[in-house]
Amino acid sequence: MMNPHNSPPSRGRRRLLGRLAAGGLVASQAATASELLKPLAVAQSSRVPGAPVLEHPYGVPSPYEANVVRRSARAWPLPGAASSMTPLADLHGTLTPNGLVYERHHGGVPDIDPGQHRLAIHGLVRTPKLFTMDDLLRLPSESRIHFLECSGNTGNEWNGPSGMPVQLTHGLLSCCEWTGVRLSTLLEEVGGLTASGNTAGGGWLLAEGADAAAMTRSLPLERILDRALVVYAQNGERLRPENGYPLRLIVPGFEGNTNVKWLRRLKVVDAPLQTREETSKYTSLLANGTARQFAFEMDAKSVITRPSPGHRLTTHGYYPITGLAWSGRGTIRKVEVSTDGGATWRPARLDGAILDRALTRFQADWRWDGGAAVILSRATDSTGYVQPTRAELVAARGLNSQYHYNAIQQWRVDASGEVRNA
Amino acid sequence: MMNPHNSPPSRGRRRLLGRLAAGGLVASQAATASELLKPLAVAQSSRVPGAPVLEHPYGVPSPYEANVVRRSARAWPLPGAASSMTPLADLHGTLTPNGLVYERHHGGVPDIDPGQHRLAIHGLVRTPKLFTMDDLLRLPSESRIHFLECSGNTGNEWNGPSGMPVQLTHGLLSCCEWTGVRLSTLLEEVGGLTASGNTAGGGWLLAEGADAAAMTRSLPLERILDRALVVYAQNGERLRPENGYPLRLIVPGFEGNTNVKWLRRLKVVDAPLQTREETSKYTSLLANGTARQFAFEMDAKSVITRPSPGHRLTTHGYYPITGLAWSGRGTIRKVEVSTDGGATWRPARLDGAILDRALTRFQADWRWDGGAAVILSRATDSTGYVQPTRAELVAARGLNSQYHYNAIQQWRVDASGEVRNA
């Protein structure tokens, strides 16, 4: 099936760019244009032989990109129960390279020999089984692109603008192509499903990791059976150690911690087991004193990644505003952008394929006139849900929550060109 | 737009898997099943704290995957004018992680400071311009997933089965998400296009690299204007040095060398300039003594990556046959698989999104009965073109060619389970 993001540009799109071009998108290099009528000087890099092939059998980024790395927002007392964040401001497109996928560990990164690793599937099933990695590789596989977001992402904005750059406010967010076996295929293997594909006995699934935290969550089977994968590869290669090597669960759209890493056990049960990570943690205390539990889906959200805090606009003129939008409940239907603090909004272009529960790149044309501006983005997903303002979110959830902060994020552009989270 | 590869499974698909499951996809671990009724032992990896967060600010693969690296088929006399290949047998899904994207250099990998790099666009244009990297980042961008294949890929099979594994026969092949500026946007910036988006003066484009080979190719503008990109990012991050850092051309579907790396110059001209790389190299001598020149598109092709030479089947029973298919002329419409040397064929499943000029993953169910088998795959693209047999290809092109070998590839499975390129 032909995908829209690979189709030729419409004449309309061409005309749009044509009109922009008439004004000149790029600040003129006219002083040097006459030089271009003479032969170009030979590049210094053409005068010397370059580095040989296979200098790095497994390649690494350019030394000029050494600042594009994962970072933590703070020093954690227990570095094995900490997180690091994806440098969203320096990334392009929609995929996250494996070296920059965010980390969140509860007991550090275990060292697991894939030859020794086993996945146990038991509980309310006909034939409990142990699966080796080789067993899993001999099952039909499936690959899909999905985002992962920690439910604590952007939690530092609950009390208003934190002053932090987008890597530290929104960087518990990544997007990869995941490859593995459908959860439903595995449950069929152990007799946990009926012939019609429904759950046979139990309505919930306990997933447990082989890390020092034995990270454990209960998941509602009927809601995830159509899409959950038990995966061994990300972006084409085997999982990275900090992302669950050799095996993890992917529950598209659900908060990050439910995508249990270093997966060693799936138990079919009839009710949630009320584990630590779904009682004292990963629940949200509301204003009325009750707690919101099992809020699995990450609601629709968006953020402008460029320009964003740390960037500085230089010459006046054309700047594209670009960022990411996503929803744990489906696809992104629309992203709107404002450059006047939310007084007026206009639609952004959505770039590339718009995939279910995956990051979507948006872009809007903007001419910076050199004045102060406040830039914002607002996502609407395929269910019709609209990303809320901070005031709307606080009205609904109060200020006790640590999790599921998805309000519209604003960046201030000063007349100096500096961009700030304020 | 909803993408088919993210839709829930059909009941039919479920029933298919259900029927397979009835036979038992996984060799039984029944001896251990009763153990699963007792509490599971605590994993050794749960008894000790794991490695801290940010042990690698830029992540690296698991040490257990140290064999998954690029390799060369032979020792080259000039390592700066050599190639390394993607380990296709060890990869999953459709994307190639940046560290494993194949290399092909004509003068080694140049060291280019992006702050000093310039792209010149001149020739038959109204306003020649120099673009800095910052200029390019201030233009509207676009991201698309496309394969890259060297025209010399699989050339070692022209004389029959080479005995080599798939990494060395088909590994001059990778697939990434590329982000950059449309070539048409840049040509509008310099007045190289008319208001209706057609080329104003010249019909060809000379692209030159800043490497020690000053790698230079002529390209037919009207054929590439709808899709060519000048890119600065692959799979979300900036280009890797060996893949053109900081700037390269992407001409979707065209042979690899036309996707000029370390791009420093685009000149609009009225006819091809007959550079070294399109006369003495990258042309194909036919049987009648004439040469095939400017054979840009990579024709439809497919290959089984698992099982493939180097793999060994162990127990009899279910094995999925999986591999990759692609076409430089559009999308993949169909892949068929044979396990009897081509006597009979059956359709494979196409996994995930089927994107224009991108790798497509296919999969077919197979039960190995322990006998000898010959497994093959055959791709058909959206133009209706069918991947040829080796005999058909040789009849059309003779045996003098080094380039554009796209015949059906067979692997032999011995009764021992060994898989060989024979």
**What's the distance, CA A7 to chain centroid?**
25
Contact B33 A101 (CB under 8 A): no
**Residues of B numbered 274-303 whose beta carbons fall under 8 angstroms of chain A's beta carbons: which are they?**
none
Question: How far is A359 from chain B, CA to nearest CA, in Å?
Answer: 12
Q: Cβ(B235)–Cβ(B177) under 8 Å?
A: yes
Q: Cβ(B330)–Cβ(B315) under 8 Å?
A: no
End residue of a domain, out of A237, A262, A292: A292
Low-confidence ranges of chain A (pLDDT < 70): 1-38
**Lowest-confidence segment of B24-33, B135-144, B304-313, B351-360 by average pLDDT:** B24-33
User: Angle at CA B240, nearest 5°, toward B238 and B246?
Assistant: 60
Q: Which of B40, B143, B235 sits opposite A235 (nearest CB)?
A: B235
Residues B107 and B232 in one domain: yes
B238 CB-near residues (< 8 Å, 6+ apart): A61, A62, A65, A68, A90, A92, B114, B232, B245, B246
Give me the amino acid identity at A355: L
Pairwise CA distance, residues A268 & A194, whole Å: 14
Q: Does B222 touch chain A (CB under 8 A)?
A: no
pLDDT surpassing 60 at residue B29 = no
Q: Which of B33, B108, B122 sits opposite A50 (nearest CB)?
A: B108
Pairwise CA distance, residues B324 & B306, whole Å: 10
Give the count of beta carbons closer than 10 Å to the beta carbon of residue A77.
7
In this prediction, residue B92 carries a pLDDT of 98
Structural domain includes residue B25: no
**Residues of A numbered 358-377 whose beta carbons fall under 8 angstroms of chain B's beta carbons: which are they?**
358, 361, 363, 365
Q: Does B67 touch chain A (CB under 8 A)?
A: no
User: Which two structure tokens, joined as six digits, stand for A41?
Assistant: 């000087």
Q: Does B184 touch chain A (CB under 8 A)?
A: yes
Residues A265 and A318 in one domain: no
Alpha helices in B163-265 (DSSP H): 166-170, 183-189, 221-224
Residues B353 and B403 in one domain: yes
Question: How far is B341 from chain A, CA to nearest CA, in Å?
Answer: 22
Contact B127 A33 (CB under 8 A): yes
Residues B239 and B381 in one domain: no
Question: How far is A172 from chain B, CA to nearest CA, in Å?
Answer: 13
Pairwise CA distance, residues B269 & B201, whole Å: 8
Q: Cβ(A97)–Cβ(B237) under 8 Å?
A: yes
DSSP assignment letter at A403: S
In this prediction, residue A35 carries a pLDDT of 66
Give the count of beta carbons closer than 10 Å to the beta carbon of residue A396.
11
Going by pLDDT thresholds of 50, 70 and 90, the confidence category of residue B224 is very high
Structural domain includes residue A41: no
In this prediction, residue B49 carries a pLDDT of 94
Structural domain includes residue B123: yes
Interface test with B, best of A28, A45, A113, A322 (most B CBs within 10 A): A45
Structural domain includes residue A122: yes
Helix H or strand E encompassing A184: helix A183-189
Q: Which of B84, B114, B141 sits opposite A54 (nearest CB)?
A: B84
Q: Does B9 touch chain A (CB under 8 A)?
A: yes
Pairwise CA distance, residues B174 & B96, whole Å: 6
In this prediction, residue B22 carries a pLDDT of 39
End residue of a domain, out of B292, B321, B347: B292
Contact B21 A233 (CB under 8 A): no
In this prediction, residue B197 carries a pLDDT of 77
Cβ-in-10-Å burial (0-12, 13-18, 19+) of B238 comes to buried
Give contacts of A28 with chain B, Cβ < 8 Å. Answer: 129
User: Which two structure tokens, joined as six digits, stand for B412?
Assistant: 């032999």
Residue with the two structure tokens 């089965």? B161
Interface test with A, best of B53, B230, B231, B261 (most A CBs within 10 A): B53
**Residue A26 backbone class (left: φ over 0; alpha: ψ -120 to 50; beta: rest):** beta
Pairwise CA distance, residues B251 & B260, whole Å: 9
Residues A162 and A264 in one domain: yes
User: Phi and psi for B22 in degrees, rounded to 5?
Assistant: -55, -35
Structural domain includes residue B381: yes
Q: Does A348 touch chain B (CB under 8 A)?
A: no
Q: Which of A80, A96, A188 sits opposite B52 (nearest CB)?
A: A80
In this prediction, residue A37 carries a pLDDT of 63
Interface test with B, best of A6, A266, A332 (most B CBs within 10 A): A6
Question: How far is A288 from chain B, CA to nearest CA, in Å?
Answer: 36
In this prediction, residue A2 carries a pLDDT of 31
Between the alpha carbon of residue A103 and those of residues A78, A107, A241, the distances in Å are: 14, 12, 10
Which chain B residue shows the shortest CA-CA distance from A175?
A: B236
Going by pLDDT thresholds of 50, 70 and 90, the confidence category of residue B26 is low
In this prediction, residue B188 carries a pLDDT of 95
End residue of a domain, out of A274, A292, A310: A292
In this prediction, residue B37 carries a pLDDT of 62
Q: Is the dihedral of CA A309, A310, A315, A318 positive or negative?
A: negative
User: Which two structure tokens, joined as six digits, stand for B416?
Assistant: 């021992």
**Number of domains chain A is built from:** 2
Question: How far is A290 from chain B, CA to nearest CA, in Å?
Answer: 33
In this prediction, residue B171 carries a pLDDT of 98
Residues B285 and B324 in one domain: no
Residues B324 and B226 in one domain: no
Pairwise CA distance, residues A156 & A73, whole Å: 10
Mean of pLDDT values over B82-104: 98
N-to-C CA span, chain B: 45
Residues B394 and B255 in one domain: no
Interface test with B, best of A44, A60, A92, A266 (most B CBs within 10 A): A92
Contact A237 B65 (CB under 8 A): yes
Give me the amino acid identity at A71: R
**Lowest-confidence segment of A342-356, B195-209, B292-306 by average pLDDT:** B195-209
CATH code, domain carrying B194: 3.90.420.10
Which chain B residue shows the shortest CA-CA distance from A214?
A: B46
Pairwise CA distance, residues B35 & A389, whole Å: 53
Q: Which of A212, A252, A331 sits opposite B48 (nearest CB)?
A: A212
Which chain B residue shows the shortest CA-CA distance from A120?
A: B36
Cβ-in-10-Å burial (0-12, 13-18, 19+) of B344 comes to exposed
Give contacts of A15 with chain B, Cβ < 8 Å. Answer: 195, 197
In this prediction, residue A201 carries a pLDDT of 74
Residue B409 domain boundaries: 301-420
CATH code, domain carrying A378: 2.60.40.650
In this prediction, residue A80 carries a pLDDT of 87
Going by pLDDT thresholds of 50, 70 and 90, the confidence category of residue B143 is very high
Q: Which of A356, A147, A302, A150 is nearest to A234 (CA)?
A: A147
Residues A203 and A306 in one domain: no
What tens digit of pLDDT does each residue of B369-403 get? 999 999 999 999 999 999 999 999 999 999 998 89
Residues B217 and B147 in one domain: yes
Q: Does B417 touch chain A (CB under 8 A)?
A: no
Give chain B's length: 422
Q: Which of A79, A131, A252 sits opposite B53 (nearest CB)?
A: A79
Q: Cβ(A182)–Cβ(A239) under 8 Å?
A: no
Residues A134 and A275 in one domain: yes
Residues B222 and B337 in one domain: no
Q: Cβ(A34)–Cβ(B127) under 8 Å?
A: no
What is the DSSP pairing of strand A118-123 with strand A360-368?
unpaired
Pairwise CA distance, residues A4 & B307, whole Å: 33
In this prediction, residue A36 carries a pLDDT of 67
Pairwise CA distance, residues B151 & B172, whole Å: 8
CA atoms within 13 A on the CB side of B413: 27
Contact A70 B59 (CB under 8 A): yes
Pairwise CA distance, residues B257 & B404, whole Å: 12
Structural domain includes residue A13: no
Between the alpha carbon of residue A370 and those of residues A263, A312, A411, B219, the distances in Å are: 52, 12, 15, 40
In this prediction, residue B10 carries a pLDDT of 40
Q: Cβ(B159)–Cβ(A377) under 8 Å?
A: no
Q: What is the DSSP string of B68-123?
A: ---B-SS--SSTTS-EEB--GGG--SS---GGG--EE-SS-B----TTT-EEEEEE
Give contacts of B364 with chain A, Cβ < 8 Å. Answer: none
More confident position, B76 or B268:
B268
Give contacts of B27 with chain A, Cβ < 8 Å. Answer: 135, 138
Q: Which of A3, A98, A318 sits opposite B356 (nearest CB)?
A: A3
In this prediction, residue B30 carries a pLDDT of 45
What value does the CA radius of gyration of chain B take, rounded to a whole number of Å?
Answer: 24
In this prediction, residue A401 carries a pLDDT of 86
Q: Does A93 touch chain B (CB under 8 A)?
A: yes
Structural domain includes residue B87: no
Interface test with B, best of A15, A20, A55, A62 (most B CBs within 10 A): A62
Q: Which of B350, B318, B315 is nearest to B336 (CA)?
A: B350
Structural domain includes residue B30: no
**Residue A96 backbone class (left: φ over 0; alpha: ψ -120 to 50; beta: rest):** beta
Q: Which of A29, A108, A129 sits opposite B33 (nearest CB)?
A: A129
